[in-house]
Amino acid sequence: MSEQQHKSTSQFALLISNAVLGAFFFGFSVSYMNPAIKTADTQFGITGDKDLINGLINAFPALGAAAGAITSGKIQNQFGLRTSFLFADLIGVAGFLFQLPLYLATLLIGRLVIGYAVGMNSSLVPQYIKEFSPESLSGPFGAMFQMTINIGCLVALIMGMFFDADGESLDYFRFVVVFPMIICALRIFFLAFAFQDNPPSYYIYRNKFKTAKAVIRNYYKRRFADQIFDELKQQIEAKQSETSDSKNQDSASYRSRLIVGCTLQIIQQFSGINAVLIYSSGLFINITGGNNELKNWLNIAVGLVNLVFSMIAIPLLKNFGRRPLLLLGTSACTLFLGFISLFSFFLPSEEEYEVTTSAVMVIVFMFLYLAAFQLSLGPVVWIYDADVLDEKGMSIAVLCNWLGCAIVAQFFGFINNHGGMQTSFGLFFGFCLLGTIYIYFQVKETKGKNPKDIDQMFMLGKVDLDD
């Protein structure tokens, strides 16, 4: 067994824990309106076509996130990851401040602005983890991103238990809106006073070799520091050489990696995860026949299942490859989505208001779907894309993710209200089935491979079906 090159795993854990506060902000921002939508309808005077307006309320953060994702690469290249995080946190605070006045217009603007911060975090945090983490810890630390998103979702759903069923919770709504500003302030504080370094690659790109070596020595044993610096410098020089020769972003390998990275993000979104995270309150109210207390507890269960299985994913990511986890997990998601759609045909009408065996089976398979997602599509897509894409490619892939999320957020409520869960989850089943087939034939194993090996592997274009 080779000797550990880094000084302390806990040192990296603290560094990454501060970065993934952005993932907490991500999860909270996606989920807090789920249990608060009745309060928003009441307090913001939303009448008329609620499907349309509520769809916009849920879709605007995703549209903002798409903009944040596509511009984050340029901001990162210009200012570095640390300053980009500070910028994202300040934007996040501004977005929630916009939501404090009781106007639908300011609510929508605020949701758009926080979406921009979420989009930046969704692109920057995986890059930060990838560039700072030792190879041996990249899988577990990569899973921390998804796990912390789930913690943010769970906290939002727990806080959602205290909204009044009749929507009369104005003061509490304002408290929920203020809470994530504290998370932004915490990361700003720690970035300002504790974690002041960018990854070594940032300094090497700018020929600040002395600073890069100093950062490496902060985290790695001195006898390995020069070796790590040389390896990182060679990788960056190889990238720069490819770019200067116009081979990188025009090459078959790069195009192939970009297509796979973007397609995985689309598969992730059209598997239906955000339909559950954004609309679970409405789904559970219908499934349970209007039982508000049971709906709240089922929401908490959603958050707990997501969190527990994202924690279980950490050792799996360390011991198994990206490709088998994606393939098996997406196959399981497809199966469970099919059963949700099937049993939804037998749900009672809203007028009957009773919990039937079919309703119980829909809930059981929904939780099984969430578990399978957290072991596969949830964490692995982010880790895989960080493996195969550069900053620009990552921004494009995350743009695809958020555009997909915006489509789901805007139209799921309408499709579900008019066609039922059998239709909405039947569509997710079809998308996930196609995604499974795509992963089988197109996704290559990247675990344990350096950027040069990955580039050559995609250049050859062959998928090892035995991996």
Output the tens digit of pLDDT for each of the chain's 467 residues.
566 777 677 778 888 889 999 999 999 988 888 888 777 777 777 666 677 787 888 889 889 988 998 888 888 888 888 899 999 999 999 998 888 877 888 888 999 999 999 989 988 888 888 888 777 777 778 778 878 988 998 999 898 888 877 767 778 888 888 888 899 999 999 998 888 888 888 888 888 888 888 888 888 877 777 888 887 888 777 766 655 543 455 577 888 899 999 999 999 999 999 898 888 888 888 888 777 788 889 989 998 998 899 888 888 887 888 999 999 999 999 999 999 999 998 887 665 556 678 889 999 999 999 999 999 998 899 889 888 888 778 888 888 998 999 899 888 888 888 888 999 999 999 999 999 999 999 998 888 787 778 877 887 766 665 55
Sign of CA dihedral 140, 142, 146, 148: positive
Q: From CA 374, how far away is CA 330, in angstroms rounded? A: 10
Give the integer Cα–Cα distance in Å for 274 and 279.
Answer: 8
**pLDDT computed for residue 323 by the predictor:** 92
Tell me the CA end-to-end span of the chain in Å, nearest whole number. Answer: 23
Q: Which DSSP string do the residues of 22-53 spell out, in sequence order?
A: HHHHHHHHHHTHHHHHHHHHHHTT--S-HHHH
CB 43 within 8 A of CB 212: no
Q: What are phi and psi of 406, to 5 degrees?
A: -60, -40
pLDDT at residue 37 in the model: 79
Q: What is the pTM of this model?
A: 0.79
Q: Of the candidates 276, 289, 299, which has an alpha carbon nearest to the alpha carbon of residue 405?
A: 276
User: Which residue, among 327, 310, 273, has the nearest Cα to 438 in the 3D structure?
Assistant: 327
Residues 263-317: tens digit of each pLDDT: 999 999 999 998 988 888 888 888 887 777 888 899 899 989 988 998 888 888 8
* CA 131 – CA 389 distance, rounded (Å): 12
Return the number of other C-beta atoms located less than 10 Å from residue 388's C-beta. 27
Rg (Cα) of the chain, in Å, rounded? 22
Q: Which residues pair with 6 in a beta bridge?
A: 220
317, containing H or E segment: helix 292-319
Q: Which residues partner with 220 through β-bridges?
A: 6
Q: Rounded CA gap, 145 and 149, in Å? A: 6
CA gap 234, 452 in Å, rounded: 10
Q: Which amino acid is at 157?
A: L
DSSP letters of 216-277? HHHHB-HHHHHHHHHHHHHHHHHHHHHHHTT-TTTSHHHHHHHHHHHHHHHHHHHTTHHHHH
Contacts of 159 (CB under 8 A, 6+ apart): 32, 35, 176, 179
How are the residues of the chain apportioned to helix, strand and coil, as percentages rounded to the nearest 5? 80, 0, 20
Q: Provide the pLDDT for residue 387.
A: 86
